[in-house]
Homo-oligomer: A and B are copies of this chain.
Amino acid sequence: MARTRLTPERESELFAAVLDLLREVGYDALTMDAVAARTRSSKATLYRQWGSKPKLVVTALRHNKPVSLADVDTGSLRGDFHAVVNRSDDCQMEKDSALMRGLSHAVHDNPDLLQALRDLLVEPEMTGLETMLRRAVDRGELRPDHPALRYVPHMLIGALAARQFVDGRPVDRAFLLDYVDSVILPALGV
């Protein structure tokens, strides 16, 4: 079947509308009908281009984070982590956290959403993170068999997940930079 590609501008508009809807109504109430109405496109186009609602939602999330972790290369692991934190502003971080909170609940009722998140978002970010960490190993900053290496994602997710709960405050750059310096780098022996 011939696939008519959307222009990049049209695709960006469409993804932005999907994320707006996701924030407004949540994953369960976000229907392909609502996306079609909001973006003035046909449901047939949406299904042809993205296959399913979970894939469309996760592709929209992925589009929202265009810079891969693997592209950050400052010459030191500390510099790389700080660059990753600094590429988001505080307002964007709070919006992202709100999205992730909504989705982290939805995944438990939607195995296909969990699968799409893992394939399209978690796996690429993990691969990017591994590339960043491997460069630090190659530079001699980090032992290749360090036992904390496999837990860097858990440490990062902990910072994002626990901030509101523990401290009653949203995640911001100052907190994340301090967490990198106080927890992640020392745990890695850097």
Instruction: Report whether A148 and B108 are in contact in the complex, using a CB–CB cutoff of 8 Å.
Output: no
> What's the Cα separation between A161 and B152 when bound, in Å?
13
Known A104-B101, A186-B148, A186-B187; judge A162-B154 contact (CB<8 A): yes
Instruction: Report whether B166 and A161 are in contact in the complex, using a CB–CB cutoff of 8 Å.
Output: no
**Which segment of A6-14, A66-74, A175-183 sits at the interface?**
A175-183
The 9 A-B pairs of least Cβ separation, nearest first, read A158-B158, A105-B105, A147-B182, A157-B162, A187-B187, A154-B162, A161-B161, A153-B166, A154-B158
Copies of this protein, total: 2
Neighbouring B residues of A184 by C-beta, 8 Å: 187
Interface flag for A140 (CB, 8 Å) = no
Number of interface residues of A (CB under 8 A): 36
Distance (whole angstroms) from the CB of A190 to the closest CB of chain B: 11
Interface flag for A93 (CB, 8 Å) = no
Interface flag for A118 (CB, 8 Å) = yes
Instruction: Report whether B179 and A183 are in contact in the complex, using a CB–CB cutoff of 8 Å.
Output: no
Instruction: Pick from B151, B178, B183: contact of A182, CB below 8 A.
Output: B151
Interface centre among A158, A178, A184 (most CB of B within 10 A): A158
Neighbouring B residues of A158 by C-beta, 8 Å: 154-159, 161-162
Instruction: Pick from B104, B159, B181, B186: contact of A154, CB below 8 A.
Output: B159
Instruction: Report whether A154 and B168 are in contact in the complex, using a CB–CB cutoff of 8 Å.
Output: no
Which residue of chain B lies nearest to A118 when distances are taken between CB atoms in the complex? B168
> What's the Cα separation between A163 and B181 when bound, in Å?
23
> What's the Cα separation between A50 and B156 when bound, in Å?
37
Which residue of chain B lies nearest to A159 when distances are taken between CB atoms in the complex? B154
> What's the Cα separation between A156 and B158 when bound, in Å?
7
Neighbouring B residues of A105 by C-beta, 8 Å: 101-102, 104-105
Distance (whole angstroms) from the CB of A57 to the closest CB of chain B: 16
